């Protein structure tokens, strides 16, 4: 447990001492800010529904960009060897890196807290869906972080890690809009794998254990995949 | 301390390390010697738990690497080849991170980092990022990293590569100092280095151990013959050859071209020390002696013999 914290702390520090963190946050604010507020005053409703609806698609690009370096960089410069010969287990490393990624996603989300505060001054904001939305966003971010981490553990090339991560995240995001492609019998099963509906449920303020379980299982699968990839390497 | 038995490692079909066995006792400085691609690094990586052996066993202080990798990693300080460290961290931050992960408390880590800074002379570079450092400086940070919690076993993969001659001497002294009470395993392909630091050498070639003995014993084995060099300023080649050849114990005499001077290389059998006799011969004549020395014994012969194919 102590080792996990050491690793998470180091990775988180790495984000903020390099320009990556600031670039990613700025990009994220620019994208969400533009798409959200472009229609916000036309619709004239004091809620954040459009903001949360944007998140799965934007996260599909932003989170793999955040996680791509977690393993690939270590593999590339060789510090992976140094890390593995320290008294830590595979799971310490994976969970430590995962936590750093999730905390960074939380930092990104935190930077948007000004939106609900501004909206609340403009109209009567219902805080329930907003809190649900942020909770869902964190779960979604966690799931995508686990996927990105897995993609990063596969290769020493950060670009490949980014593309693989984005592809998986985007597939999960778009799955719900592609359901007409599948035969009737399996539509329901396929629909369960789509991230968007699960996220929308939570974002509406409905906390269903099935949705929470969905995101948690994606995280477990992603982290387990990373563990397998690490074992494969030696 | 370290017990390796029938250790093998395959990369696919390629056999990098083939059934090697050796034991290393506490307080030994063991050099793993071999040409490039002999399996030195692979062996060290298995000892440190980075690679899983294909077969065979490694016991370190009664801990098996299979079941108790974590305990073993706590006992070993390891410096990988060319010191791959986190290049975007400050040296100070990096050492602190290592101290934390090695389980040194806040107080302890501060004093230990200070000690290591003195030992590896890092005081000028503590606030630089690792990527800015030259190879030699990085190597020193890596050494500090390996010694962080004063490990019982220090494993160093080519510790002096990329260092300047002064630093090499410094690092050798550090290693010897540590080797007094700790166990050190280092790999190198520089013979003079192995000779200067290690008290035991294990020579590997193509994944197999071809020699395993104390440095002294190996050196003796290497020298069934030795070489004397003599040069004269003014002397007649034929006359010198004729006179010196009378001395017993010379295998052959060769002339080496050096502008103007007469330089002879005498190959001698090592059971005779003929230096005084040669000198007596020279004294009797009127040749003007400018140089007279015995070539220092080196491991090169035996290394070449063991690691090249016949």
Q: What is the pLDDT of residue A128?
A: 85
Write the pLDDT tens digit of every residue in B80-105. Answer: 988 888 888 999 999 999 999 998 88
- Residue B10 CB partners (closer than 8 Å, separation 6+): B16, B54
- Pull the structure tokens for residue B63: 């801990």
Q: What is the pLDDT of residue A187?
A: 82
Show me where the domains of chain A are located.
2-233
User: Does A1 reach chain B within 8 Å, measured CB to CB?
Assistant: no
Q: What is the pLDDT of residue A164?
A: 96
Q: What is the pLDDT of residue A207?
A: 83
Strands B153-157 and B76-79, by their bridges, are parallel
Subunit contact B49:A17, Cβ cutoff 8 A: no
Cα–Cα distance, B158 to B82 (Å, whole number): 8
For A81, the closest of B50, B88, B97 (CB atoms) is: B50
Show me where the domains of chain B are located.
2-221, 224-303
Average pLDDT of B131-151? 87
Taking contacts as CB-CB distances below 8 angstroms, the residues of chain B near A88 are 73, 101
Subunit contact A84:B50, Cβ cutoff 8 A: yes
- Pull the structure tokens for residue B216: 């002294």
Write the pLDDT tens digit of every residue in A11-60. Answer: 999 888 888 889 989 999 999 889 888 888 888 787 888 888 889 999 99
User: Does B51 reach chain A within 8 Å, measured CB to CB?
Assistant: yes
Average pLDDT of B52-70? 86
Is residue A97 within 8 Å of A230, Cβ to Cβ?
A: no
Subunit contact B86:A79, Cβ cutoff 8 A: yes
pLDDT greater than 90 at residue B25: no
Considering only residues A108 and B180, tell me which one the structure prediction assigns the higher pLDDT: A108
For A234, the closest of B52, B82, B88 (CB atoms) is: B52
pLDDT greater than 70 at residue B309: no
Write the pLDDT tens digit of every residue in B245-261. Answer: 888 778 778 887 667 77
For A14, the closest of B80, B88, B103 (CB atoms) is: B88
Mean pLDDT of chain B, nearest integer: 84
Q: What is the pLDDT of residue A96?
A: 95
- Pull the structure tokens for residue A28: 């994220």
Subunit contact B73:A3, Cβ cutoff 8 A: no
Subunit contact B101:A82, Cβ cutoff 8 A: no
Q: How far is B24 from chain A (nearest CA, A)?
A: 20
Beta-strand ranges (E) seen in chain B are: 2-11, 14-24, 29-33, 55-60, 63-64, 76-79, 153-157, 183-188, 200-205, 208-214, 225-232, 250-258, 261-269, 289-294
Q: Do the domains B224-303 and B2-221 match in fold?
A: no
Q: What is the pLDDT of residue A158?
A: 93
User: Does B78 reach chain A within 8 Å, measured CB to CB?
Assistant: yes
Highest-confidence segment of A89-93, B235-239, B260-264 = A89-93
Subunit contact B103:A2, Cβ cutoff 8 A: yes
Considering only residues B256 and B8, tell me which one the structure prediction assigns the higher pLDDT: B8
pLDDT greater than 60 at residue B310: no
Taking contacts as CB-CB distances below 8 angstroms, the residues of chain B near A93 are none
Subunit contact A86:B98, Cβ cutoff 8 A: yes
Q: What percent of chain B has pLDDT over 90?
A: 9
Q: How far is B252 from chain A (nearest CA, A)?
A: 52
For A78, the closest of B48, B84, B101 (CB atoms) is: B84
Taking contacts as CB-CB distances below 8 angstroms, the residues of chain B near A81 are 45, 50, 80, 84
Among A87, A90, A97, the strongest candidate for a mutation testing the B interface, having the largest count of B CBs within 10 A, is: A87
Write the pLDDT tens digit of every residue in B284-296. Answer: 888 888 888 887 6
Subunit contact A85:B49, Cβ cutoff 8 A: yes
Is residue A18 within 8 Å of A104, Cβ to Cβ?
A: no
Q: What is the pLDDT of residue B297?
A: 59
For B80, the closest of A18, A82, A87 (CB atoms) is: A82
Q: Which letter does DSSP use for residue A158 in this model?
A: H
Taking contacts as CB-CB distances below 8 angstroms, the residues of chain A near B60 are none
Angle between helical axes of A49-67 and A90-110 (0-180°, round to 10): 140
ipTM: 0.85
In this structure, CATH architecture of domain B2-221: 3-Layer(aba) Sandwich (3.40)
For B88, the closest of A17, A80, A88 (CB atoms) is: A17
Q: What is the pLDDT of residue B188?
A: 85
Cα–Cα distance, B142 to B125 (Å, whole number): 13
Subunit contact B85:A79, Cβ cutoff 8 A: yes
Q: How far is A47 from chain B (nearest CA, A)?
A: 42
Report the chain A residue with the minimal C-alpha distance to residue B82.
Answer: A78
pTM: predicted TM-score of the whole model, two decimal places: 0.84
Instruction: Give chain A's residues under pLDDT 50.
Output: none
Considering only residues B229 and A5, tell me which one the structure prediction assigns the higher pLDDT: A5
pLDDT greater than 70 at residue B222: no
Band of residue B38 on the pLDDT scale cut at 50, 70, 90: confident
User: Does A188 reach chain B within 8 Å, measured CB to CB?
Assistant: no
End-to-end Cα, chain B, rounded Å: 36
Taking contacts as CB-CB distances below 8 angstroms, the residues of chain A near B143 are none
Cα–Cα distance, A63 to A165 (Å, whole number): 8
Q: What superfamily would CATH give domain B224-303?
A: ACT domain (3.30.70.260)
Q: What is the pLDDT of residue B162?
A: 73
Is residue B157 within 8 Å of B79, Cβ to Cβ?
A: yes
Comparing CA positions, the residue from B179, B197, B185 lying closest to residue B78 is: B185
Q: How far is A88 from chain B (nearest CA, A)?
A: 7
Cα–Cα distance, A95 to A225 (Å, whole number): 12
Residues 72-111 of A with CB under 8 A from B: 77-82, 84-89
């Amino acid at each position: 447990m102590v080792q996990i914290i050491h690793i998470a702390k180091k990775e988180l520090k790495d984000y903020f001492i390099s320009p990556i963190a600031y670039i990613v946050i700025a990009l994220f604010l620019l994208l969400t800010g533009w798409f959200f507020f472009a229609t916000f005053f036309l619709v004239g409703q004091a809620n954040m529904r459009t903001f949360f609806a944007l998140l799965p698609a934007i996260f599909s690009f932003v989170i793999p960009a955040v996680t791509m370096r977690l393993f690939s960089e270590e593999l590339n410069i060789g510090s992976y060897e140094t890390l593995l010969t320290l008294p830590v287990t595979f799971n310490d490393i994976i969970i430590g890196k995962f936590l750093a990624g999730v905390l960074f996603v939380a930092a990104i989300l935190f930077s948007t807290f000004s939106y609900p505060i501004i909206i609340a001054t403009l109209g009567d904001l219902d805080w329930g869906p907003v809190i649900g939305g942020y909770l869902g966003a964190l779960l979604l971010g966690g799931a995508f972080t686990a996927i990105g981490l897995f993609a990063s553990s596969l290769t020493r090339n950060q670009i490949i890690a980014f593309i693989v991560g984005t592809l998986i995240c985007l597939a999960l995001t778009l799955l719900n809009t592609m359901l007409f492609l599948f035969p009737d019998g399996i539509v329901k099963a396929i629909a369960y794998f789509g991230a968007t509906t699960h996220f929308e449920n939570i974002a509406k303020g409905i906390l269903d254990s099935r949705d929470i379980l969905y995101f948690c299982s994606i995280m477990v699968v992603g982290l387990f995949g990373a563990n397998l990839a690490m074992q494969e390497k030696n | 301390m370290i017990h390796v038995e029938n250790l093998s490692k395959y990369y696919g079909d390629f056999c990098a390390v083939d059934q090697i066995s050796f034991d290393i006792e506490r307080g030994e400085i063991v050099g793993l010697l071999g040409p490039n691609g002999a399996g030195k690094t692979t062996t060290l990586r298995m000892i440190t738990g980075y690679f899983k052996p294909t077969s065979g066993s490694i016991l370190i202080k009664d801990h098996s690497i299979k079941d108790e990798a974590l305990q073993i990693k706590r006992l070993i300080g390891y410096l990988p080849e060319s010191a791959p460290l986190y290049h975007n961290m400050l040296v100070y931050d990096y050492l602190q991170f290592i101290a934390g992960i090695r389980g040194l408390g806040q107080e302890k880590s501060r004093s230990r980092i200070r000690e290591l800074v003195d030992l590896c002379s890092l005081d000028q570079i503590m606030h630089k990022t690792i990527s800015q450092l030259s190879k030699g400086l990085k190597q020193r940070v890596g050494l500090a990293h390996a010694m962080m919690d004063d490990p019982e076993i220090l494993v160093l993969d080519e510790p002096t590569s990329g260092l300047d001659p002064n630093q090499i001497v410094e690092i050798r002294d550090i290693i010897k100092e540590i080797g007094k009470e700790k166990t050190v395993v280092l790999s190198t392909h520089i013979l003079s280095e192995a000779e200067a630091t290690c008290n035991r050498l294990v020579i590997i070639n193509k994944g197999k151990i071809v020699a395993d003995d104390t440095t002294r014993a190996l050196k003796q084995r290497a020298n069934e013959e030795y070489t004397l060099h003599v040069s004269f300023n003014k002397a007649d080649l034929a006359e010198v050859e004729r006179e010196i050849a009378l001395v017993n114990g010379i295998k052959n005499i060769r002339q080496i071209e050096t502008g103007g001077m007469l330089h002879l290389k005498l190959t001698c059998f090592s059971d005779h020390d003929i230096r005084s006799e040669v000198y007596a011969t020279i004294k009797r004549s009127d040749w003007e002696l400018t140089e007279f020395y015995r070539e220092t014994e080196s491991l090169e012969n035996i290394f070449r013999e063991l690691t090249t194919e016949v």
